[in-house]
Structure 1
Amino acid sequence: MSTKPGKKKPVNASQPEKSVRREALKKFYRSFLPLMLAVLLWIITISILHLPEIKEAVMQVFIQFTLSSALVFGKLLFIPVESLSYPNITVSGYTMKIVMECTAYNFYIFVIFLSLLSPVKWKQRIITLLIFIGAVFIVNNLRFITMGYIGNYSGLLFHLIHDYLWNILFGFMVFLIWAWRYNRNIEDTNDLKN
């Protein structure tokens, strides 16, 4: 048996190192399995909601809820908001048509699964779910109000912000809330174990 100079023999990891790696991998799966399951269930649910037999009814429920809540939200903030024809909303003179994607239904459905599948106590899951739904509800209603004012200022700017910025902001908001709630609850659980 000869060894060539410059080549090192592969070193087998010791048993404690393997155990540490295995434990880290388990922790990783435990942490991200709920996220992966939430994405999978979200895709399945969205696919079901888009079945031709129920799509129209689902759209009407989400659009009506969004239109009604945006009108109430605007009135509470003393902002000139009205709906002269369904499914349109007018904010400060700028009229927008509410379509299914405007309802944030994607985010509502995703945060429901993400909250309920998190590996924390049920009380914390419900609290996280309420925080998520409240945040999505408020931000989505503020979106209609700000987009009305932006639309009055510039149609081009309206489309850029509407198509890109809001989706990025919603996604970032969901990630931040999940990271905050998940890390907080994991730390609380670890404190209880020690």
Structure 2
Amino acid sequence: MKLTSYLAALSLAGLASAHFTLNYPTSRGSDHDTQTTGPCGGLSTSSSRTAVDADGFPVAITSSHTSGGFAVYFCPKSSCTTASDFNITLLDTILEEGAGNFCMPEISIPESVLSSNGTMNGTVQVMMISDDGNLYNCADVSLSRISGASSSSQCTNGTGVTATSWTESTSTATASSASTSATETSAAQRLVPALALVAGAVGLAMA
């Protein structure tokens, strides 16, 4: 896809939309007015946590934007409130196109991060690069190796929704065109490097 076509697609997204929602794991919430505030859309740690399988769990979102870059990060602590807390990359940036439901079916926690018995609390951060700037959603989770939803029960991809690799040239151009506040700068810089992820690696069979 040509860069000019990608940027044109971004410009068509509705500014009055709900940006994107994190459907699974259960989000802290979604406030349109504060979703550009990192690291978690301006929302504090939730009192309840979603139990997920550390060996692989789905991350499901619904986007109102026609195109955007998505990445997933993790904070291995009970209280995650700053950008620097989310220092573990679970999914390098991918380019998602098409408004609607999108699911990344097998996100896993690195073995080196888990406690000796494989259980711990943490927070999953999903970040989107859009024409509105960098957008954030977080889900507070409880990790184990025996609990959590399967990909088949939580993953739904909308008709026409696709994902491809995020090239360095596209990332650089998009990041420079988005309005990035001081609180978002460190997270935005993490999205610039190129990735070698291909669409098949995130299970993009359309529903």
Question: What's the TM-score once normalised by structure 2's chain length?
Answer: 0.24
- Higher strand proportion (structure 1 or 2): 2
The higher radius of gyration belongs to 1
Between 1 and 2, higher relative CO (CA 8 Å, sep ≥ 6) is seen in 2
- Higher helix proportion (structure 1 or 2): 1
